[in-house]
């Protein structure tokens, strides 16, 4: 069971980043500022994009994750609610 869960998490994280990496990451039009392109912050952003949770206390992680979800059509403008990838 543990291996199945680990495999599903690995696939989900891979799919999230495949989607996010198809968009520019840095520069003026990028979604993830250079400052946040490190393992800890990218992991936190992935968690937000996949699960809708930000446990870092850094509001920038939520903002960046929301921008990614908006770019992928995973944001409800009417309710102002993100739709994390886990809700597929």
pLDDT of res. 4: 47
Q: Say if residues 61 and 27 touch (Cβ distance below 8 Å).
A: no
pLDDT of res. 58: 97
| 35-43 average pLDDT score | 89
pLDDT value at 29 more than 60: no
33 compared with 23, residue with greater pLDDT: 33
Quick one: which of 48, 82, 51, 83 has its CA closest to 65? Answer: 48
| Domain range annotation of the chain | 2-87
């Amino acid at each position: 069971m543990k291996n199945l869960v680990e495999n599903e998490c690995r696939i989900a994280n891979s799919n999230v980043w495949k989607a996010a990496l198809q968009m520019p990451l840095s520069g003026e039009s990028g979604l993830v500022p250079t400052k946040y392109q490190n393992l800890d912050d990218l992991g936190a952003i992935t968690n937000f994009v996949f699960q809708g949770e930000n446990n870092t206390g850094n509001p920038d992680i939520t903002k960046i994750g929301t921008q990614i979800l908006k770019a992928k059509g995973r944001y409800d403008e009417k309710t102002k609610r993100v739709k994390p990838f886990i809700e597929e």
